[in-house]
Each structure stands twice: as structure tokens, then as C-alpha cells.
Amino acid sequence: MTRSNKSISILLAVILVLSLSLVGCGGSEEPEEIGSDEVIEWAFYSAYGPDEGACCEIWKQLFAQIEEETDGKLIITPYWYGQHPYEGEDMLKALEDGSCQLSHFYSGYLSAVEPIFGADAVPMLFPSDPMESWEVTARLWGNFQQDTGGVLESILQERWNASMVHMLPASPQRIFSVGYPVDKIGSLKGHKIRVYSPELGKLVEILGGTPVSVAFSEVYTSLSTNLIDGYITSTMFAESGGLFDYTDHINALEIMASTDGIVVDLDKLAELPQDIRDTFLRIMSDSAMKPEMIELEMNDEIVKERTATGEVQFIVPTEEDRNAIVEKVKTEIWGPWLELTGEEGQRVIEQVNM
């Protein structure tokens, strides 16, 4: 052995002895195992601002309840629109990218990504009564972890490795107009209406109008500059966006009730300790299955307040006029949607009509 090699051997031996001594006297620590005291931090990405919908308030409460009932071991931090780089139609991609563990599911946005997920965004496909519509929604999503019989839940799991864990009944999407009622075919002739999906654009055309695609954040300016003289949204969004500064007609065609939900990454869900996972799923499911009525209640209160002075009119179409619209919608919107979604779309319609 050369002098150089001998010196190296002696040095390695000294290092080994010192290392063993330190371990024996507690001078170094082994990697800590993941235990029950670990704090798990999750991110939730939303397509809304913190106060844009009743769902936002419910979700804040649920996240606080989960943190409390897990003794602070699962902390969920919401990131609202503008606090993350994703748009509404990108919420599933945010989950897939690993940017968050929970994401906002709004069918009206996601129909551009997965047309089948826009089932409740297909105009007049679901019942016009909000609670009847909610019962259909619960069936399609398998009652939010209570069972797995929902058509849409199965597709979400298979294609996106995600699961729907919470939804709440949504208020109807309506046409809000400036200076005219909308209650029959031809009502929109000569008018420009803001829409946010191809299906709604086709509905506007059926009613005689011109669809205009602008972001919700631009609707107020578009009204003030006469780029549009009407728009489709929920009553709560019209209120939160200050759109009643221009709006004087709420047209209760009850187009649809696109729902707001929360989806979870299944891998991240599986990584949770059993007790924390059980608590998380129980709190989410209990809330969804009540169901939470806050959005419907707030919707009705806004309508009552806005129409009380007579400055805003609430227009309800006759049954005959609405049925005439539905018949054209079946041919010109439902038909193409079924061609696009195929067997899956047919399964949805069958489950809607159960």
C-alpha cells in the first residue's frame, strides 16, 4: 500500500468511528418518519374571487372546520382568481400539474375542456326547478363519495385521477337585459348578449340575438360602452359585479344551473393518514348532502330587493313560449352536444331522466 492510500484509509476509519460515536450519543438524528403530528398543507385554486359566489363563503367555512377537526393537521389555503396563473377552464389542469391538491369545478367553464362535464351547462337540459336540478346533479356525481354510481364521477376519476368531493345547488343562469324583456323566440333581435360557452351562444342565436364572448371582468365596461346590452349569468354574479347599474330586466328563462364544486387529486387524497382522510371526506360530504341552500336564498333575496322599487322588472315567460324555446334547443343544441359526447352523453341524458 502506498503512503497516500494508507493515509486515506486511516482518515476514512477515523470518520467512521466519529460517526458511530455521534449516533450513539445522540449527536445526529435519523430522518423523522411521517407521523400523526405532521401538518399537511393543501392548496385550493378557485376560478372566482373570494366574494363572488355563495360557494366561496361555504368553502372558507369548510376549510376552517377541517383544520379544527383535524387538530390543525390538515390546513387548506384557498387561492382566489388572480392569486394563481390559471383560468376557469384550466382548473383540472392545475390539479393535473400538481400546482394544487383541490380545485374549483365549474361546469360552464370546463365544458370547453371536457364537453361531457358541461352536462348541466347545456341549456334547458336539466329541470328548471333548482332542487329538482340538484337531485339530478347528485345522481350524476354519485352523491359525493357516498357511492360511485355517477356517470360524471366515473369519467372524472378515469381521465383526470380526481374525484368530486363537494357541490352546492346553484341559482339559475338567466338573461339580464338593458331596456327590453326576453321571454320568447325573437326577443333578442337586434341585441348583443355576452355569453361564455358555445351552447349559450347558440341559445342567443335561437332567440334572435348576437352572442358576444367577453370575460366576466369586462362585462361592466362592455355595458357602459354599449358593446353589449345584455348578458347571461346568475343573479348573484350580476349583483357582485355591480351590473345592476345598467340592468333593468331579469329574464327568468331558467336556462340552467351550472354548479360549483370542489375536486381532489386522488393520489393526494390517498396519501392522507386514514383518520384525516375520513374527517376530510365526512365534512365535505355532510355539507354537500344537506344540501347547502345559501346560494338559492341569496339569489331570491337579491331579486326581491332589486324589484321592490320597480326599477328592475322580473320577467317570467309563459309556459307556451318557454316550451317553444326548449323544442328548438333540443334540435339545435342538445343534438350537436350528443353527437360530440356520444355514448357518454346518452348515459347522462338517461341518468337525468331517471
Instruction: Enter the CATH code of domain 173-257+298-352.
Output: 3.40.190.170
The answer on pLDDT for 9 being more than 60 is no
Q: What is the pLDDT of residue 110?
A: 85
173-257+298-352: same fold as 40-170+258-297?
A: yes
Sign of CA pseudo-dihedral 220, 226, 228, 233: positive
> Structural domain boundaries of the chain?
40-170+258-297, 173-257+298-352
The mean-pLDDT minimum among 95-99, 148-152, 340-344 falls in: 148-152
Please give the Cα distance from 195 to 253 (Å, whole number): 15
Q: How confident is the model at residue 4 (pLDDT cuts 50, 70, 90)?
A: very low
What are the pLDDT digits (tens) for 35-55?
A: 457 899 999 999 999 988 788
Beta strands of the chain (E only): which ranges? Answer: 40-45, 74-79, 102-106, 162-168, 173-177, 192-195, 210-213, 230-234, 249-256, 260-265, 313-315
Q: Provide the CB-side half-sphere exposure for 262 (13 A, CA).
A: 29
Contact 219, 228 (CB under 8 A): yes
Strands 74-79, 40-45: parallel, antiparallel or unpaired by DSSP? Answer: parallel
* Assigned architecture for domain 40-170+258-297: 3-Layer(aba) Sandwich (3.40)
Please give the Cα distance from 57 to 314 (Å, whole number): 27
Please give the Cα distance from 28 to 100 (Å, whole number): 34
Q: What is the DSSP letter of 120?
A: G
